[in-house]
Structure 1
Amino acid sequence: MTAPGTLAIYAGAALAEIAGCFAVWAWMRQGASAIWLVPGVASLAAFAWLLALAPSDFAGRAYAAYGGVYIAASLLWLWMVEKQRPDAWDLTGGAICLFGAAVILFGPRAMGS
Structure 2
Amino acid sequence: MKLVLIYPLAALAEIAGCFAFWVWLKLDRSPLWLIPGVAALIAFAWLLTLVPTDAAGRAFAAYGGVYICASLIWMAVVETSPPDRWDLIGGAVCLIGAGVILFAPRG
- Identity, % of aligned positions: 64
With the length of structure 2 as denominator, give the TM-score of the two structures. Answer: 0.98
- Give 1:74's aligned residue: 71
- Long gaps (5+) in structure 2: none
Aligned length: 107
Residue 90 of structure 2 is aligned to residue 99 of structure 1? no
**Residue 33 of structure 2 is aligned to residue 36 of structure 1:** yes
The normalised TM-score by structure 1 is: 0.93
How big is the alpha-carbon RMSD for the aligned residues of Structure 1 and Structure 2?
A: 0.9
Within 5 Å, which residues of 2 pair with 1:47-86? Answer: 47-86=44-83
* Alignment deviations for residues 53-112 of structure 1 (CA, whole Å, 9 cap, x no partner): 0111000000000000000000000000000000001000000000000000011111xx
After the TM superposition, which parts of structure 1 deviate over 2 Å for at least 4 consecutive aligned residues? none
Give 5+ residue unaligned stretches, structure 1.
none
What's 1:90 paired with? 87
